[in-house]
DNA sequence: TCCGTTCCATACAGTTATGTACGGAACGGA
DNA sequence: TCCGTTCCGTACATAACTGTATGGAACGGA
């Protein structure tokens, strides 16, 4: 019967995610993954049709863990909408590796329509979830939308910005912004 | 005396910017630039030491045009702070090519410290300029900072997001957000 | 011990890129 | 017409990577 998997399929995907996070899709090279794992490319082509097939599976893995798991974990904690938003933000900021994959995929999506389609699916689900939370905090529909946009923008944008020391530190700024965003009807014009 | 430049140095930089915008730094290949221009690589190495030298000059060009020219153009239009912010936003959203270079540089900066340093310089100058404008609109210092963060985040983040049809269109959303941000003291908590 | 499954190493062919060397071609003055 | 500047084309050496083919090695049952 089956012999144990020494370097199973998942290992290549795992190492692929690491490479993607570190250097984008162009850094996902069969050669370097093999070197990182400590084997030659021999086994790779037993598992995968070609390099493209690996990239697909990498995206599959990212898509699964980045929506389902995330929302699940936030919901599991319970609490009101404000606490959940807090937790969502902390979660997004915490798991360093997953975040880097996320950013790499975002750039990748700019030039690959198939990747863009996947990202759209993921972002829409995240946005829907956020909308449902903000709707519990404020009544006005436009207000909800604007807060979603701000929140999502800060989450994504802040990692692509390189600004240092204005009057306040980055961390302080995010805190301040978050407080604003989770305060009921602060700006119902 | 000097013969006319048929494919001058600047031509390579220009085509390099185009490639960078389209596919990131990895897409800036001496070979493909030559093909795009319609010559062989022969002349390239007369102008540049190597591929790295070209990348440096590409970044130089981006740095020059993306701060100095931008701020200059916004200031040239005159008007009050609100109008200038409006114009700043329109400008940023309009020139498609420059924007794409900007986004490519942002991703690039995540893995190259030298690029990150340049981006920091640029972003700080932009942030300083925005801060000076928002300070004319609202008094509270924290308020100014939060608005800067929101504005910059939306500018950068919205191009890395892939969300469609919430209740309102993307364009409407940005309008709505901008109105909020340029309204004096809307949320002076 | 033998067998099937799972994987690894090695060798090879092909592609695409870099950088170097060098012989010119084109062009505008003098 | 000759010359210097500015480039272009070609050939060559090298490197990095992809994918294929093939012969096994390691391992756990039966």
Query: Do B167 and A141 make contact, defined as CB atoms within 8 angstroms?
Result: yes
Q: Is the pLDDT of residue B132 over 90?
A: yes
More confident: B98 or A20:
A20
Q: Is the pLDDT of residue B2 over 60?
A: no
Query: Do B146 and A180 make contact, defined as CB atoms within 8 angstroms?
Result: yes
Which one of B127, B150, B158, B186 makes the best mutation probe of the A interface by having the most chain A beta carbons within 10 Å? B150
Residue B1's pLDDT is what?
Answer: 39
Query: Do B157 and A160 make contact, defined as CB atoms within 8 angstroms?
Result: yes
More confident: B26 or B95:
B26
Band of residue A188 on the pLDDT scale cut at 50, 70, 90:
very low
Residue B48's pLDDT is what?
Answer: 97
Q: B1-10 b/e with 16+ CB inside 10 Å = b?
A: eeeeeebeee
**Average pLDDT for B116-128:** 95
**Average pLDDT for B55-76:** 92
Residue B32's pLDDT is what?
Answer: 97
* Lowest mean per-residue pLDDT among A77-81, B3-7, B29-33, B116-120: B3-7
CB-to-strand C contacts below 7 angstroms? A 1-3, 5-9, 37, 39-43, 46-47; B 1, 3-4, 6, 29-32, 41-42, 45, 50-52
Q: Is the pLDDT of residue A134 over 90?
A: yes
Residue B96's pLDDT is what?
Answer: 83
Residue B186's pLDDT is what?
Answer: 55
Q: Is the pLDDT of residue B156 over 60?
A: yes
Q: What is the pLDDT of residues A103-125, one digit of tens each?
A: 999 999 999 999 999 999 999 99
Smallest CA-to-CA distance from A180 within B172, B142, B132, B136 is with B142
Model pTM above 0.75: yes
Q: What is the pLDDT of residues A154-181, one digit of tens each?
A: 999 999 999 987 778 888 888 889 888 9
Residue A8's pLDDT is what?
Answer: 92
**Average pLDDT for B125-131:** 94
Residue A98's pLDDT is what?
Answer: 87
* DSSP one-letter string for B28-52: --HHHHHHHHTS-GGGHHHH-SSHH
Q: What is the pLDDT of residues A1-59, one digit of tens each?
A: 344 557 899 999 999 999 999 999 999 999 999 999 999 999 999 999 999 999 999 99
How many angstroms is C1' of D8 away from CA of B97?
Answer: 29
* DSSP one-letter string for B108-157: HHTT-HHHHHHHHHHHHHHHHHHHHHHHHH---HHHHHHHHHHHHHHHHH
* DSSP one-letter string for B7-24: S-HHHHHHHHHHHHHHH-
Q: Is the pLDDT of residue A186 over 80?
A: no
């Amino acid at each position: 019967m089956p012999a144990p998997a020494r370097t199973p399929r998942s290992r290549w995907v795992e190492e692929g995610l690491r490479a993607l996070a570190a250097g984008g899709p162009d850094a996902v090279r069969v050669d370097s993954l093999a070197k990182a794992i400590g084997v030659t490319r021999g086994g790779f082509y037993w598992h995968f049709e070609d390099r493209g097939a690996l990239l697909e599976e990498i995206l599959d893995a990212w898509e699964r863990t980045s929506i389902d798991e995330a929302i699940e974990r936030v919901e599991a904690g319970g609490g009101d909408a404000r606490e959940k938003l807090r937790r969502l933000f902390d979660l997004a900021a915490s798991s360093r590796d997953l975040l880097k994959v996320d950013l790499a995929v975002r750039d990748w999506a700019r030039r690959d329509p198939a990747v863009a389609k996947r990202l759209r699916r993921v972002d829409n689900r995240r946005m829907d979830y956020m909308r449902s939370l903000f709707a519990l905090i404020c009544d006005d529909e436009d207000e909800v939308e604007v807060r979603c946009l701000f929140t999502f923008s800060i989450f994504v944008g802040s990692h692509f910005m390189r600004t240092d020391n204005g009057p306040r530190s980055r961390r302080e700024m995010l805190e301040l912004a978050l407080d604003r965003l989770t305060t009921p009807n602060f700006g119902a014009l």
